[in-house]
Structure 1
Amino acid sequence: MKKTFFTFLFLSLVLSINSQTIFGKWNSKNEAGTVDSVLEVYEKNGKAYAKVVEILNPARKNALCVDCEGEYKDKPILGLDILSGLEKDDDEWSGGQIIDPRNGKTYKCYIKLVNANKLKLRGYIGVSLFGKTAYWERAK
Structure 2
Amino acid sequence: MRNRIITLPLLMLLFAPFAAFAQQADAILGNWLNEEKDAKVQIYKSGNKYFGKIVWIAHQFEDDGKTPRKDSKNPDAALRNRGILNLVILQNFEYDDGAWEDGKIYDPKSGKTYSSKMKLSDGKLNIRGYVGVSLLGRTTIWTRSN
Q: TM-score, with normalisation over the residues of structure 2?
A: 0.74
| Contact kept? 2:39, 2:54, Cα under 8 Å | yes
Q: Which runs of 5+ in 2 are unaligned?
A: 1-22
**Which residue in the other structure is 2:98 paired with?**
91
Deviations 1:47-72 (A, max 9, x none): 01000000122545821111113464
1:47-106 residue CA offsets vs partner (Å, 9 max, x unmatched): 010000001225458211111134643311100000000111110001110100001000
Q: Distance in 2 between matches of 1:58 and 1:66?
A: 14
> What does 1:39-54 align with in structure 2 at a 5 Å threshold?
39-54=41-56
Query: Which residue identity lines up with residue 77 of structure 1 in the other structure?
Result: I
The answer (yes or no) to whether the contact 1:52–1:81 under 8 Å persists in 2 is yes
Name the larger-Rg structure: 2
Aligned partners of 1:58, 1:98: CA distance in 2, in Å?
21
> Partner of 1:120 in structure 2?
126
Is the CA contact (8 Å cut-off) linking 1:38 and 1:53 kept in structure 2? Answer: yes
Partner in structure 2 of residue 106 of structure 1:
113
Task: Select the structure that is richer in strand.
Answer: 1
Structure 1: gaps of 5 or more residues: 1-16
C-alpha RMSD of the superposition: 2.1
Give the % identical residues.
35
Aligned length: 119
Query: Given the superposition, is the C-alpha separation of residues 128 and 72 from structure 1 closer, same or farther in structure 2, using an over 3 Å criterion?
Result: farther
